[in-house]
Amino acid sequence: MRLNSKVSIVTGAGQGIGAATALKFAQEGATVAVCDVNHAAVSAVVAACQEAGAQAVGFTLDVTRREAVDAMVANVLERYGRIDVLVNNAGITRDARLQKMTIEQFDDVIDVNLRGVFQASQAVAESMVKQGAGVILNASSVVGIYGNYGQTNYAASKFGVIGFTKTWSRELGPKGVRVNAVAPGFIDTTILATIPDDVLAKMREQVPLRRLGKPEEVANVYAFLASDEASYINGAVIEVSGGMSL
């Protein structure tokens, strides 16, 4: 198993890509700290990870609250003695056109998608540097590369995550810590549940593979990047989009 005994934290792990990533890590032998704002979802994913044979612990966590992030990291270190992987998956959308977007919509997305990534990464960085090894994986998006109509706040946050990734890979790489980002395209998660069928059909048409991605297909990339098989990949932004940017 490629992640055998690696102690991993996954934020936003209550559903979608985060839940698939936590379960994939468990199946690959990792110890998994499942973090999400939804307590019931955390419990369900922890149970699924344990059923897969992994050690797993859950935290009801708001990544915008620094004291809560620090407490979670301290708890994981106390339990397991190290942190090998952080997956910064927590993210939200609050879409609106530029002229219509409220300050609250803008701030909410920046707080979770950008500040949350910064806070979780800063919280684990020192322990990873001390042990001379670690992996930080950041959830960007194809929107963070190419932009998207009605997503000023989301695009800014996901562009910012790429900036974090490039900067931290330079800062932490010499200390044995790799930092990479994954940029999913259209993935079939609950976020798409309210989108009309005709809009979903148009989305599929934009993808050369003519389908939406599955959360597990993104989780597979996270698992590879977290593993020693990706030991010379640092500062990369890997699209998982079915080729929609071609």
Q: Which residues, at least 6 apart from 123, have a Cβ–Cβ distance to it below 8 Å?
A: 66, 69, 70, 72, 73
Measuring CA to CA, which residue among 56, 6, 57 is closest to residue 28?
A: 6
Is residue 182 a contact partner of residue 139, using CB atoms and an 8 Å limit? yes
154: annotated active-site residue:
yes
Tokens representing residue 176 in the block: 């044995």
The rounded distance, in Å, linking the Cα atoms of 20 and 51 is 14
The rounded distance, in Å, linking the Cα atoms of 193 and 197 is 10
- What does the chain come to in residues? 246
Of the candidates 80, 146, 149, 154, the residue annotated as catalytic is: 154
Q: Which residues are catalytic?
A: 154
